[in-house]
Chains A and B, each alone.
Chain A
Amino acid sequence: MSYLEHSVKSVPSGARKILFLNWPLAVLLVAVASVGFLMLYSVAGGSFTPWAEPQMKRFAVGFTLMMIVAVIPIWFWRNMAALAYGISVLLLVLVELFGAIGMGAQRWIDLGFMRLQPSELMKITLVMLLAAYYDWLPSKRTSRPFWVLIPIVIILLPTFMVLRQPDLGTAILLLAAGGGMMFLAGVYWVYFAAVIAAVVGLITAVFESRGTSWQLLKDYQFRRIDTFIDPSTDPLGAGYHITQSKIALGSGGWTGRGFMQGTQSRLNFLPEKHTDFIFTTLAEEFGFVGGFSLLGLYTLIIVFCVFTAISSKDRFSSLLTLGIAFTFFLFFAVNMSMVMGLAPVVGVPLPMVSYGGSAMLVLMVAFGLVQSAHIHRPR
C-alpha cells in the first residue's frame, strides 16, 4: 500500500507538523538518554568529562536531526531508501580501503568532527531498503523464490562486508534485522526454517574452520566464544570481563549500592564500563530496580512503535517502524544478554546509553523516520 493510493491533503503541513509528533516516544527517548548521561557521569568518577558532556552534545544534535528527519515527508525517505543503502555499502567499501585501525578492527571513517561508523548507518539503511522493497513488491509475489532471493542478497552483501572488518556483533544484528523484516513482510515460514538451518550450518562451519588456514573468525572471537561457554576456565584472562561484569551486576541486589558507590566500576574491575558494559554499572549502582526500570523504558519504546505500525495503513511506514523497533530491540537484547553472561561478548552497545557518536546519531535519525511515518500517516 502506498501513499499514491491515499490523499495527502489531510497530512499536517509546516510548523504544525511538530504538534503531530509522537511525543510519548520522544519523551521516552529523552528519558533513556538521560539514564545514559547519569551513568556516564558516574563511571567518570562524578565528572561530566570525558564522557557525559560530549554525549549530551551529541544527543542535542541527534534530537535536532530527528526533528528534521521527522518533518520531511515519509514518501521522500521511501524514495531515498535505495540511494541510502547504496551510500552505506559504498562507505563500507571506503572503510575497508582507508579506515583507521582501532581496537583491532577497521570500523570508522574519520570525518574530522566525528568518526563515522558505516556499519551503524547500514543497520538503518538496510531496514529502509527492505521496507521500500516490500512496499513496492506486490504481496502475491512475496514468497516466490526469486523475490525472496533478492532481499537475501540485499542482507548478505553488507553482512559479509561487516564481518570482514571484523565486527561480529553488527553482522549478527544485520542478519537478524534483515530476517525480521522478511518475516514481517509475510514471507512464507518455510523459508525461515531453511535460513535457520543455514545459520546452524554456518555456525558449524565456523567452528570447523578453527585452526585451519581458512579460519572465518579471528582468534579473539573464538576465545570470546570459548569463555562464554565456560568463563571460569580463564578467570584472569579472557573470561575476566564477563566474570567481573556478572559480579558487578549481581552485587547490585534489589536497590543497588548507591549512585557512584559501585565498587566494581569505580575501582576499574569492569571493562569498557562507559561503552558496552555500561549496563553493569547501572545495575550495580541502582540494583534490580534501576536495571528493570531501564528495561521497562526500552519495552515501552518497542510497544509504542509496534502499535504505531499496526495502526498505520501505509505498508512502507509499518514495515519501517517495525523494522527500526526490532533493530532497537536487538541492540539492547544482545547487549544485556552479553553483560548477564547469556551471550558471547560481541561488542554491541546499549542503545542511547553507551558512549558513542555514530550509534546514537543513527538511532536518532531512525526514530526521526518513525516520527515522520507517524506525522505523515494517511488519515
Chain B
Amino acid sequence: MRRTKSEIEGSHRTISRRALLLGGAQLAFIGGLGMRMRHMQVEQADQFRLLAEENRINIRLIAPERGEIFDRNGTPIAQNVPSYRIVVVREDVGDIDSAIGELTKLIELDDKELERALAEMRRSAPFLPITIADKVTWEDVSKVAVNAPALHGVTPEVGLSRVYPRGSDLAHVVGYVGPVSDYDLDKIADPDQLLRIPRFQIGKVGLEAKMEDDLRGKAGAKRVEVNANGRVMRELDRREGQPGADIQLTIDHKLQSYLQARLIGESASGVVIDCVEGDLVAVGSAPSFDPNLFVRGISSGDYSDLLNNKYRPLASKSVQGIYPPGSTFKMMTAMAALEAGVITPEETVYCPGHLTVSGRRFHCWKRAGHGSIDLHNSLKQSCDVYYYDLALKVGIDRISAIANRFGLGVRHDLPMSAVAEGLTPTKAWKQQTHGAPWRTGDTANSSIGQGYMLASPLQLAVMAARLGTGRSVTPRLIRTIDGVEQPSGAGESLGMNENNLRKIRGAMNAVSNNRRGTGYRSRIIEDGYRMAGKTGTSQVRNITKAERRSGVIRNRDLPWERRDHALFVCFAPVEAPKYAVAVVVEHGGGGSVAAAPIARDLMLQALYGGPPPLEAYPAGDRARIKEQQDRLQDMEPIANFEGKERA
C-alpha cells in the first residue's frame, strides 16, 4: 500500500505538533519538580535539617556519683561501692534459653528476676543490654568472666551501689536510699530529669532524704548518634556531671556504735551533744534495723516484721519520740520561778506527801513527805510538792516560755526525718486545741513534766546543754558539706541570771554526787569529770484513789506498755560542761535505775573518747562494769551488705 505524499507529510506534521505539545508538557512538569526541589532544599532546608538532627541525635543522661557520708573523724557512713550485675544482649546470645541454661549451671539465678528480664527482653530492641541478675557477688562475677568464651552475649557489668558499712548503728540518722517511685515523683513539683532514669536511687528517709539535693549532684549528659532502630552508633560529645557533695557528720561513729550496743534489749534512745559546738556526737535509738536491706530491696516479710514490731525499730525515737519529761522538767519550773522572782532559793515549802489543788489531791512520790524543803534539796530528792507550789505561784505560761528558751517545745532544725516539736502547753494552747479553759490542776501536773508536757530525748539533751552552759546551744548534725564548715551551734547567752543557773547546776550536781541524790548510784568519781544530772520517771497511766489506798502497783508487776518511762539528763564536767546527755528508756521503770546508768556510761565514753578506766566508776560497780565493757566493745553493728542474700 503506497501512501500519497500529502498523507505522509500530514501525518508527520501531526506527530511533530503532538510531540512538541507533549514535550512541552513534560518540560513543564520537570520545571515543577525543580521548583519543588528548590522549595524543599533551599527555603525549607533549615527546618528539615533540624528534623534530621532530631532523628539522629539522642541525649542520654549520665547519673552523677552520689555524695558520700562520713563521721566526724572521716570514717565512712554511707559509701558507693562497685556493684556487679550480669547483663545479656539478646542479639549476641542467639538461643536465649540455652544461654540461661548455661548460666544457671554457674550461678544461682533468681526466678522472679529472670522472669522480669525475659519479659523486658521481649519488649525491647535486641541490641539493648538487659540485666538478668543484679547485685551479684564477686565470686559469681568471676565465674561468669572465666566462662566468657562459652557465654557469648553474657557480660558482667559494674555500677555503683549505696552501702552503709556501719549498718544498723546510724540507720535512724542517715536513713537509706531506694529507687525512685511514682509516689516520689508525684511529690516533687519539677523533678530533675535524672529521676526518670530507671532504678535511679534517691534518699528515702533520714539525712539521705533531707540532704538529697546536696548529695545527688548534677546530671551529666552525652549526645549520641542513633540509627532508625535506636542503636547507638557513636558518642558525639559528653558533658560530665557534677558528683554530689560529700557530707561529714558531727557523729562519732565509735560513740554511736557504743550507744547502739548499750541500748540493745531496750526500747530506748539516747542523745549525746557537745556543749561547746552543739555537735550531736551520738544520736541512738533501739531497736534498730539494717538500712542495707532497704537498698537491696527488702522482702515484704522482713518489712512487715519491722513494721509490726511493738518496739518500733523503724522509728527514730531520739528525735521523733515524745515523752512526758517527768522530773527532768523540774529544772524548768524552778528556773521560771527564780527568773520571775516569785521565790528565793532559800525559801522552803512544807511537803506532807501531797498537795490539794482546787479540790484534787496531788501526791508526792514519797508518801510520807519531805517535810520543809528548799530548792536545792527538792531537786536533789525530786520532791513533787515543792514544784506544785512553785508552779502555782509562777503560772503555766511563764514556765512554758522558759522551757521554750531551753529548747523544749520547739522544733530543732535537723536533717532527719520527722523531727518532733514536742509540747509545752499554755493557757491559750489548751483553749485553742481542747476548747476548754486551763485548770490549776493542769499547772500542777505540768510542773513535774506530766500532763500535756511532751519532749523528745533530743530536746532534753539540748535543755541539759543549755543549763550547763547558759548559752542557747543549738544542735547540729552536719559538720561540713563538700568541705565547707557549717555554722557552729555554740549559740548566744540565754540571758538568764547566772546566780539562778548556778543554783540549779548545784542542785543537779547534788542529784548525782550527794549521797542522798536520786542519781547517786550512777555517779562518776573521777574528779575532773564529775557530772550533774536529773532523774525522771514519767507515768503513762493514772493511779486511781483505790490503787493508792491499797498500795501502788509496782512497775515490774505491770504489763510492759503500762510501766513508767525512765529518763535521765546530765552534763559533765560540772565546772566546764563538755557534753550533755539525755537517755529515755521506754517503759523502763525508774529513771535512776534504768536510764541513769546508760547516760553515765555514755558520758564517760564521750569524755574519755573510748572505753573509760574502771577507776572512774564507783568501786562497788567495777566488776559489773568490767564485764559489761568486755561484752559491748566487741559488738559489731548489724550490717550485711556484702553478697546477695535473698529471702
Give the contact stretch, choosing among A62-70, A72-80, A211-219, A262-270: A262-270
Give the contact stretch, choosing among A31-39, A83-91, A97-105, A179-187: A179-187
In the complex, chain A residues whose CB is within 8 Å of the CB of B2 = 5
B19 lies within 8 A of A310 (CB): yes
In the complex, chain A residues whose CB is within 8 Å of the CB of B23 = 302-303, 306
Q: Tell whether A269 pairs with B55 under 8 Å between CB atoms, given A186-B15, A295-B34.
A: yes
Q: Tell whether A250 pairs with B49 under 8 Å between CB atoms, given A267-B233, A288-B42, A310-B16.
A: yes
B44 lies within 8 A of A250 (CB): yes
A248 interfacial contact with B, CB 8 Å: yes
Q: How far is the CB of B157 from chain A (nearest CB, A)?
A: 26
User: In the bound complex, what is the Cα–Cα distance between A251 and B26 (angstroms)?
Assistant: 27
A223 interfacial contact with B, CB 8 Å: no
B10 lies within 8 A of A139 (CB): yes
In the complex, chain B residues whose CB is within 8 Å of the CB of A340 = 33, 36-37, 40
User: In the bound complex, what is the Cα–Cα distance between A144 and B23 (angstroms)?
Assistant: 25
B38 lies within 8 A of A1 (CB): no
A364 interfacial contact with B, CB 8 Å: no
B18 lies within 8 A of A186 (CB): yes
Q: How far is the CB of B129 from chain A (nearest CB, A)?
A: 21
Q: How far is the CB of A242 from chain B (nearest CB, A)?
A: 13
A333 lies within 8 A of B45 (CB): no
In the complex, chain A residues whose CB is within 8 Å of the CB of B8 = 1, 5
Give the contact stretch, choosing among B73-81, B193-201, B221-229, B580-588: B221-229
From the candidates A250, A268, A333, name the one contacting B30 in the complex (CB within 8 A).
Answer: A333
Q: How far is the CB of A249 from chain B (nearest CB, A)?
A: 6
B56 interfacial contact with A, CB 8 Å: yes
A112 interfacial contact with B, CB 8 Å: no
Q: Which residue of A lies closest to B1 (CB)?
A: A138
In the complex, chain B residues whose CB is within 8 Å of the CB of A251 = 45, 48-49, 51-52
Interface 0/1 of B8-37, CB less than 8 Å to A: 101110111011111100110110011011
Q: How far is the CB of A221 from chain B (nearest CB, A)?
A: 24
In the complex, chain B residues whose CB is within 8 Å of the CB of A2 = 3
From the candidates B18, B22, B45, name the one contacting A250 in the complex (CB within 8 A).
Answer: B45
A288 lies within 8 A of B41 (CB): yes
Q: How far is the CB of B47 from chain A (nearest CB, A)?
A: 7
User: In the bound complex, what is the Cα–Cα distance between A291 and B40 (angstroms)?
Assistant: 12
Q: Which residue of A lies closest to B33 (CB)?
A: A336
Interface 0/1 of B43-84, CB less than 8 Å to A: 011011101110110000000000000000000000000000
From the candidates A247, A313, A318, name the one contacting B55 in the complex (CB within 8 A).
Answer: A247
In the complex, chain A residues whose CB is within 8 Å of the CB of B229 = 268
Interface 0/1 of B148-191, CB less than 8 Å to A: 00000000000000000000000000000000000000000000
User: In the bound complex, what is the Cα–Cα distance between A186 and B14 (angstroms)?
Assistant: 6
User: In the bound complex, what is the Cα–Cα distance between A244 and B227 (angstroms)?
Assistant: 13
User: In the bound complex, what is the Cα–Cα distance between A283 and B52 (angstroms)?
Assistant: 14
A269 lies within 8 A of B49 (CB): no
Q: Tell whether A318 pairs with B19 under 8 Å between CB atoms, given A250-B48, A263-B52, A333-B30.
A: yes
In the complex, chain A residues whose CB is within 8 Å of the CB of B95 = none
A253 lies within 8 A of B42 (CB): yes
In the complex, chain A residues whose CB is within 8 Å of the CB of B40 = 246, 249-250, 340
A1 lies within 8 A of B26 (CB): no
B7 interfacial contact with A, CB 8 Å: yes
From the candidates B1, B7, B48, name the one contacting A246 in the complex (CB within 8 A).
Answer: B48
From the candidates B1, B18, B33, name the one contacting A337 in the complex (CB within 8 A).
Answer: B33
In the complex, chain B residues whose CB is within 8 Å of the CB of A336 = 33, 37
In the complex, chain A residues whose CB is within 8 Å of the CB of B49 = 250-251, 253
Q: How far is the CB of A103 from chain B (nearest CB, A)?
A: 19
Q: Which residue of B lies closest to A187 (CB)?
A: B18
Q: How far is the CB of B286 from chain A (nearest CB, A)?
A: 58
Q: Tell whether A291 pairs with B41 under 8 Å between CB atoms, given A298-B30, A318-B19.
A: yes
A128 interfacial contact with B, CB 8 Å: no
Interface of B is mostly: helix
Q: How far is the CB of B296 from chain A (nearest CB, A)?
A: 39
In the complex, chain A residues whose CB is within 8 Å of the CB of B33 = 295, 333, 336-337, 340, 342
User: In the bound complex, what is the Cα–Cα distance between A340 and B23 (angstroms)?
Assistant: 22
Q: Tell whether A288 pairs with B38 under 8 Å between CB atoms, given A139-B11, A264-B52.
A: yes
User: In the bound complex, what is the Cα–Cα distance between A247 and B36 (angstroms)?
Assistant: 14
User: In the bound complex, what is the Cα–Cα distance between A264 and B491 (angstroms)?
Assistant: 67
Interface 0/1 of A286-299, CB less than 8 Å to B: 01100110010011
In the complex, chain A residues whose CB is within 8 Å of the CB of B7 = 138-140
Number of residues on chain B facing chain A (CB within 8 A): 45
B19 lies within 8 A of A306 (CB): yes
User: In the bound complex, what is the Cα–Cα distance between A188 and B526 (angstroms)?
Assistant: 129
A263 lies within 8 A of B37 (CB): no
Q: Tell whether A252 pairs with B45 under 8 Å between CB atoms, given A1-B12, A333-B29, A342-B36.
A: yes
In the complex, chain A residues whose CB is within 8 Å of the CB of B53 = 263
Q: Which residue of A lies closest to B57 (CB)?
A: A263
Interface of A is mostly: helix
Q: Tell whether A254 pairs with B37 under 8 Å between CB atoms, given A1-B8, A268-B229, A310-B19.
A: no
User: In the bound complex, what is the Cα–Cα distance between A55 and B38 (angstroms)?
Assistant: 30
In the complex, chain B residues whose CB is within 8 Å of the CB of A224 = none
User: In the bound complex, what is the Cα–Cα distance between A298 and B3 (angstroms)?
Assistant: 36
In the complex, chain B residues whose CB is within 8 Å of the CB of A329 = 26, 29-30
In the complex, chain B residues whose CB is within 8 Å of the CB of A180 = 22
In the complex, chain B residues whose CB is within 8 Å of the CB of A186 = 11, 14-15, 18
User: In the bound complex, what is the Cα–Cα distance between A263 and B234 (angstroms)?
Assistant: 13
B1, B15, B16, B229: residue with the most chain A Cβ atoms closer than 10 Å: B15
User: In the bound complex, what is the Cα–Cα distance between A357 and B55 (angstroms)?
Assistant: 33
Q: Which residue of A lies closest to B37 (CB)?
A: A291
Q: Which residue of A lies closest to B8 (CB)?
A: A1
User: In the bound complex, what is the Cα–Cα distance between A144 and B548 (angstroms)?
Assistant: 133
In the complex, chain B residues whose CB is within 8 Å of the CB of A319 = 15
User: In the bound complex, what is the Cα–Cα distance between A264 and B38 (angstroms)?
Assistant: 19
In the complex, chain A residues whose CB is within 8 Å of the CB of B48 = 246-247, 249-251
Interface 0/1 of B228-255, CB less than 8 Å to A: 1100010000000000000000000000
Interface 0/1 of A113-144, CB less than 8 Å to B: 00000000000000000000000001110000
A2, A254, A288, A295: residue with the most chain B Cβ atoms closer than 10 Å: A288
Q: Tell whether A184 pairs with B18 under 8 Å between CB atoms, given A253-B42, A340-B40.
A: yes
Which residues of chain A (178-208) have a CB below 8 Å from chain B?
Answer: 180, 183-186
Which residues of chain A (222-251) have a CB below 8 Å from chain B?
Answer: 244, 246-251
In the complex, chain B residues whose CB is within 8 Å of the CB of A269 = 52, 55-56, 227-228
Q: Which residue of A lies closest to B2 (CB)?
A: A5
Q: Tell whether A263 pairs with B55 under 8 Å between CB atoms, given A1-B8, A1-B11.
A: yes
A247 lies within 8 A of B30 (CB): no
Q: Tell whether A326 pairs with B22 under 8 Å between CB atoms, given A254-B45, A295-B37.
A: yes
B15 lies within 8 A of A299 (CB): no
User: In the bound complex, what is the Cα–Cα distance between A362 and B26 (angstroms)?
Assistant: 22
In the complex, chain B residues whose CB is within 8 Å of the CB of A1 = 3, 8, 11-12
A322 interfacial contact with B, CB 8 Å: yes
User: In the bound complex, what is the Cα–Cα distance between A181 and B21 (angstroms)?
Assistant: 13
Q: How far is the CB of A171 from chain B (nearest CB, A)?
A: 20
Q: Tell whether A322 pairs with B19 under 8 Å between CB atoms, given A247-B51, A315-B11.
A: yes
In the complex, chain A residues whose CB is within 8 Å of the CB of B15 = 184-186, 309-310, 315, 318-319, 322
In the complex, chain A residues whose CB is within 8 Å of the CB of B3 = 1-2, 5, 138
Interface 0/1 of A312-354, CB less than 8 Å to B: 0101001100100010010001001100101000000000000
In the complex, chain B residues whose CB is within 8 Å of the CB of A183 = 18, 21-22
Q: How far is the CB of B1 from chain A (nearest CB, A)?
A: 8
Besides A139-B11, A263-B53, A318-B12, 4 new A-B residue pairs in contact (Cβ under 8 A), listed by A number: A140-B7, A329-B26, A329-B29, A342-B33
Pull 12 A–B residue pairs with CB atoms less than 8 Å apart, ordered by A: A1-B12, A5-B8, A138-B1, A186-B14, A186-B18, A249-B37, A263-B53, A283-B37, A302-B23, A302-B26, A306-B20, A315-B11
The 5 lowest CB-CB distance pairs between A and B, nearest first, are A250-B48, A186-B14, A251-B52, A267-B227, A253-B45
